[in-house]
Amino acid sequence: MSRRWVIRSFAFLDLCGFTAYMDDHGHDAAIEALVALRVAIRAAAEDHGVRIAKWLGDGSMLVGMEHEAVLDCVLAVQERLAPATGPPLRGGLSTGRVLLFEGDDHVGPAVNIAARLCAGAAPGQILVSDLSSREESDSASSRSICVRGVSGSIPIRAFESPARH
C-alpha cells in the first residue's frame, strides 16, 4: 500500500442555496447555474495549473501543489461568476501536509479545514487559512476562527465577491 506525506493546497467551492434556487427558479435555471460554475472552474483550473479533484454536485474540490496558484484559481472562478444571476459562490482553501493515499486521494487536516471553511463561508465569500500570501490585499479581511476538529483558532483571510449585477 502506497503512503506518502506531501504538501498540497485544497479548495472547496460551492453554490450557496442551490436546492432552494432550483425550487424557486426551476430545473433549467439550475442547470444553467451548474454549467456556468463548471465552465468557470474548468477555465480557471486550466489557466492556473490546478487539478479538479472531483465534482460535488453543485460544487467541486480542487487540488494544487502551490498555494498561490490555487488561490488565484479560486479568485478567478469567483470573479467569473460575480456577474451571474444564479446562486452565489462560497469557498474554503487550506494548504498543508497530507497523506497521499493510494496515489490519487489525499487525507489530512488541510483537506478537512478547506471543506469546513467552505461550509462556514458566507454567500460570495472565500475563506483562506494560509496567510502567507496576499497579506496586504485590499480585497481581503483577516481574523481568527475556530474550526471543528482543530484545536485552537486558525488565522484566515476572507475574500469577498465583487458586487453582483
Set out the domains of the chain in order of their start, with CATH numbers.
Answer: 3-160 (3.30.70.1230)
Q: Name the nearest CA neighbour of 126 among 65, 79, 85, 56.
A: 79
Q: Name the nearest CA neighbour of 37 among 23, 16, 66.
A: 16
| Residue 136: per-residue pLDDT | 46
Q: Model-level pTM?
A: 0.86
Q: Name the nearest CA neighbour of 149 among 122, 105, 114, 97.
A: 114
Q: What are phi and psi of 137, to 5 degrees?
A: -65, 135
Q: In a structure prediction context, what are the per-residue pLDDT tens digits for the chain, which is 165 residues long?
A: 556 788 999 999 999 999 999 999 999 999 999 999 999 999 999 999 999 999 999 999 999 999 999 999 999 999 999 877 889 999 999 999 888 777 777 878 899 999 999 999 999 999 999 654 444 454 556 666 666 666 666 778 889 887 654
